[in-house]
Structure 1
């Protein structure tokens, strides 16, 4: 079993610095309307970035293994935040955008499905608390 440890240190007011197991650091801060100064990432939005990053790493690896020709690849996450406290994401749409001249849609769909259904642990965690919808968009150049 692998254990990940992060350390998140208060830097004053509504700002924290957090380490990642890789040794990298980043700032977390509240929005100005919640007493923050806006410098840093928002905790809930970080969850969406983690979801996209986890799946994106899977898909990028599969693109290489499948020798797929993709000029650019982006993931957009759109999440609904509930109104009542604690505010949580209850519905999330993950859109995979592929750009290129010779996009093999069948293989790209297979790569995304492998990530979504088999490899991405963050995706599985999200399914524990939210409805997750997957969309694929192809941009021919």
Structure 2
């Protein structure tokens, strides 16, 4: 399967990038790097892609398993190396589930399936970063 995107320079440090979904996004540097902060930072966008990829897997599995979850969020903390080219060498990803009737074992299975089998972005990150995955349950 081939995917094509086009990224167009909009002047200064800003770019507009197409997406197969039909939704474009802007990429820009922050003021500290001569940008105006009018778009996503490329490396942070990678972390959002990781959370989004795994989040979609887990949301789909929650639906298939007919689990009751009031809320769900993913938090990521990543360490960027000091030397160029700078990249993430350590990534901690926390899955937070909120609800009154959380089936922790099944939710953990959903997370594990995403982390170990389904999330392609996770597999890409494994090539260059140490991953630490945590699942937290908040029974309300």
- Normalised TM-score (structure 1): 0.98
Correspondence for 1:24: 23
Which structure: greater strand fraction?
Answer: 1
Q: CA deviation at 1:23?
A: 1.2
Correspondence for 2:115: 116
* Distance (Å, rounded) in 1 between the aligned partners of 2:136 and 2:5: 35
Q: Does 1:137 align with 2:133?
A: no
* Distance (Å, rounded) in 2 between the aligned partners of 1:137 and 1:6: 36
Gaps of 5+ in 1: none
Query: How many positions carry a matched residue from both structures?
Result: 140
Q: CA deviation at 1:140?
A: 1.4
Q: Does 1:100 align with 2:91?
A: no
* Distance (Å, rounded) in 1 between the aligned partners of 2:21 and 2:65: 28
Secondary structure, aligned partner of 2:89 = strand
* Distance (Å, rounded) in 2 between the aligned partners of 1:123 and 1:71: 25
Correspondence for 1:86: 85
* Distance (Å, rounded) in 1 between the aligned partners of 2:16 and 2:122: 25
Correspondence for 2:4: 5
Correspondence for 1:128: 127
Q: Runs of 4 or more off by more than 3 Å in structure 1?
A: none
- Normalised TM-score (structure 2): 0.99
* Distance (Å, rounded) in 2 between the aligned partners of 1:77 and 1:61: 20
RMSD: 0.5
The C-alpha deviation readout for 1:14-73, integer Å capped at 9, x for no partner, is 000001011110110001100010111000000000000000000000000001100011
The C-alpha deviation readout for 1:81-135, integer Å capped at 9, x for no partner, is 0011110000001100101001111000000000000000000000000001100
Correspondence for 2:58: 59
Gaps of 5+ in 2: none
* Distance (Å, rounded) in 2 between the aligned partners of 1:43 and 1:25: 14
